[in-house]
Amino acid sequence: MRLPEPGTIQIAPSVLSADFARLADEIKVIESAGLVIVHLDVMDGHFVPNITLGPPVIKWIRKCTDLVLDCHLMISDPEKYVEAFVKAGADHVTFHIEATDRPEQMVETIHGLGCTAGICLNPETPVSAIETVAPLCDMILVMTVHPGFGGQSFIQEAAQKIEPIRRLVGPQVRIQVDGGIDPTTTPRVVGLGADTLVAGHAIFGQKDRLAAIKAIQDASA
């Protein structure tokens, strides 16, 4: 599956806050809401102070869904592991600008493996750090929390980078926001130019996942 063409707002639920013992069911809920992207947070305990999932889990997720598997690599040395994630079934691979010296080469590698590519920047990283690589990417990921954990509070100042990034990449590149997205922060990031909304706690932290998705959709309209 490919990322939807830019020009539509997409919600990409992050299963980080889902019930991992019932992951297939949680993914079915995303499908039944009519969403097309699932956001998979990969953490290595080195680039970020938490450990989550790797290629073996993604391989099993791939077998149970046709959703776009959007892999957010919060790992050191992403060049060493990118092929394993693609072989496991990733459709889109995002890596951090803070984790590599050769971002342009990484984008080329990801494209060469048949996936779309994303670059991500942490809250304290300036837009200038991605100036060269951003136009080569299919999606830019703006962190609005410090990566590592779900359920943190939205950092307003980090969201301010959405506007200059939109000017830099134009309308043909998706801008994804990740961290603290819920029905109250959604209008703000959409107003600034974001079109892809990652939400973890705001969906899987709620009893009624479908109602939670609908509330974010309503807030983005």
- For residue 128, give the 3-state DSSP assignment: helix
Residues 135-194 that bind Zn ion (CB under 5 A): 178
Site for ligand DX5 in 115-144 (CB under 6 A): none
- Three-state DSSP class for 123? coil
String marking each residue 147-176 x if it binds ligand DX5 according to CB under 6 A: xx-xxx------------------------
Active-site residue (options: 70, 178, 182, 195): 178
Q: How far apart are CA 36 and CA 33, in angstroms?
A: 9
Is residue 172 classed exposed, middle or buried when 0-12, 13-18 and 19+ CB atoms within 10 A define those classes? exposed
List the catalytic residue out of 41, 44, 70, 195.
41
| Span near ligand DX5 by CB under 6 A; candidates 26-34, 111-119, 178-186, 189-197 | 178-186
Looking up tokens 């073996």, which residue turns up? Answer: 56
Q: Which of 37, 39, 67, 92 binds ligand DX5 (CB under 6 A)?
A: 39
Give me the least distance between CB of 55 and ligand DX5, in Å please. Answer: 18
Cα–Cα distances in angstroms (integers) from residue 30 to residues 11, 158, 190, 220, in the given order: 10, 27, 21, 17
The CA angle 19-74-42, to the nearest 5 degrees, is: 30
Active site residues: 41, 178
Question: Residues interacting with ligand DX5, by CB under 6 A?
Answer: 14, 16-17, 39, 41, 72, 145, 147-148, 150-152, 178-181, 198-202
